[in-house]
Chain A
Amino acid sequence: MSRRLVIVGASLAGLRAAEGARKAGFDGEVTLIGAEQHLPYDRPPLSKKYLTGDGAADFYRAEADLRAELDLRLSTTATSLHPDEHVVTTSEGNISYDALVIATGAAARSLPGVADSSRVLTLRTLDDADRLRAHIRPGARVVVVGGGFIGAEIASSAQQIGAQATIVEAARVPLVRAVGEMVGETLSQLHARNGVRLLTETSVLDCIETAFVQEIHLSSGEVLPADVVVIGVGAAPATEWLRGSGVELDPIDGGVVCDAFLRTSVPDVYAAGDVAHWPNGLLDVTMRLENWTNAAEQAGRAGANAADPENAVAYETVPYFWSEWYGQRIQFVGTPMADRVEFLEGEREEDRFVALYTTGDRVVGAATLNQPRKIMKLRRLISERGGPAAAQTIIDDGQSAATGATP
């Protein structure tokens, strides 16, 4: 009898899991279940060129093409998992599986105490982006709560359209968890330089809806009027549907706990993408990443492992993400959890830097602003467990000491 692989979550990770299974020779049925009504589409543009109106939605694959390869069930939400029976229950009925990949990603967190309103929005999906786009017009007052990457990108896009953006951040320095304090502080200076107000150590006490505006009451006593408020306080793994299933979830954020092969705690069930915690052998750290590159690579591996468990391969990666604010390119590789962080290549210039994260004599991370030529060489160096001297060579002349690439 032919085997059935069920993938829950029809976005980047879900699609890549299906492709990974096929590449590994899986010839059974693949069922891809997605809660959204849309075909799988690309999320990063939603806060960038889609928001500024410079591009249409980016669907990964044409519908006919996709349906020819797999059984696609859109507008279908998984509601519970029954590992003993090998059955997933969905809004449209039960589906049995031989192997299953959890790729339900993450959902935007809301701000406790702030009621939903047509002027208080979050940004995670295409529908969210459409709602937000309708509000961000030239001259609109946009308040972004949260100075993380997505919040910063929304502020930057709003500014580009001619709206007036303000960012409200509770911490003293934004982005500390993503890039550490020093780089977080340096990057956040980009806001003021581009005409966006960044309020740090400030929290939202209340958000009151009046006839015309949303009034945001801040801990500083200030009241900000806003035509639209965007809550950008991060995303939480979408695992409500797994509660009580026996799949082990992280006690803090509820993400799915996996081993190095992306297997969950129950048989034949794997996970990948924004939802998954796993021990990353390359950096010897257990982590959950929320970035495009990981979702794509990790899910390809999870799909292949689910399809062919006897030949399962451990997944490891040097994390990578990029962001764009005010037309400037920010890139990060590795992990910010390091003993030392220093800015290299002389003084940190206003719109250009390389920062290196080292632990012992190993380079574990690098952050760059507008240095696209150096970052991938540093990614390779980190994967080869290189040290600061080799990194310095890359930074000095832009060449990869580790691979000897010639221009």
Chain B
Amino acid sequence: MVTLKLEVDRGRCTGIGICESFAPDRFEVDDDGTLLVRGGELVGDAEREEIERAVDGCPAAALRLVEGVS
């Protein structure tokens, strides 16, 4: 089965938080600007669109969706 995985490049992420405004259930920036990701790396169909928006919206290009086979 083809699955979609979310990858976060911690070296690039600057905690700007655009991702949180699109997918608040999955992303949250904490008080010191560190990004918290909830719910694991697998991306389900129902949330795919909002996660794509988060990926496109990230000004630091820190998020990626990669296809994998499991």
Contact = CB atoms under 8 A, between A and B. Distances in A.
Contact of A296 (B17, B28, B57): B57
Contacts of A375: 17
15 contacts: A19-B56, A42-B59, A292-B59, A293-B57, A293-B59, A318-B21, A320-B18, A320-B21, A329-B33, A372-B16, A372-B33, A376-B21, A379-B21, A403-B24, A407-B28
Nearest to B17: A376
Contacts of B61: 58, 60
Nearest to A383: B21
A19 B56 CA distance: 10
**Interface residues of A toward B: which range?**
20 to 34
Interface of B: 15-18, 20-21, 24-25, 28-33, 36, 56-57, 59, 61
Nearest to B27: A376
Nearest to B25: A405
A205 B21 CA distance: 45
A372 B28 CA distance: 9
A405 B24 contact: yes
Given A373-B28, A373-B30, A407-B28, A296 B56 contact: yes
Nearest to B33: A372
A43 to B, nearest CB: 10
Interface in A272-323: 292-293, 296-297, 300, 318, 320, 322
Nearest to B15: A372
Given A329-B15, A372-B15, A373-B30, 18 more contacts: A19-B56, A58-B61, A293-B18, A320-B21, A372-B32, A372-B33, A373-B28, A373-B29, A373-B31, A375-B17, A376-B17, A376-B18, A376-B24, A376-B29, A379-B21, A380-B24, A400-B24, A403-B24
Interface string A11-28: 000001001000000000
A377 B30 CA distance: 12
B31 A372 contact: yes
Contacts of A296: 56-57, 59
Contacts of B56: 16, 19, 296-297, 300
Contacts of B59: 42, 44, 292-293, 296, 322
A183 B66 CA distance: 41
Interface string A355-379: 0000000000000000111011101
Nearest to B59: A292
B50 to A, nearest CB: 12
A398 interface: yes
Interface in A390-407: 398, 400, 403, 405, 407
Contacts of B36: 407
Contacts of A371: 31
Interface string A107-140: 0000000000000000000000000000000000
Contacts of A331: 16-17
Nearest to B29: A372
A41 B32 CA distance: 28
A33 B25 CA distance: 39
A316 to B, nearest CB: 14
A344 B25 CA distance: 25
B19 to A, nearest CB: 8
B39 to A, nearest CB: 12
Looking at B21, B25, B31, which has the most chain A CB atoms within 10 Å of its CB? B21
Nearest to B20: A376
A303 to B, nearest CB: 12
The 4 residue pairs across chains A and B that have the minimum distance between CB atoms: A376-B20, A376-B21, A376-B17, A372-B33
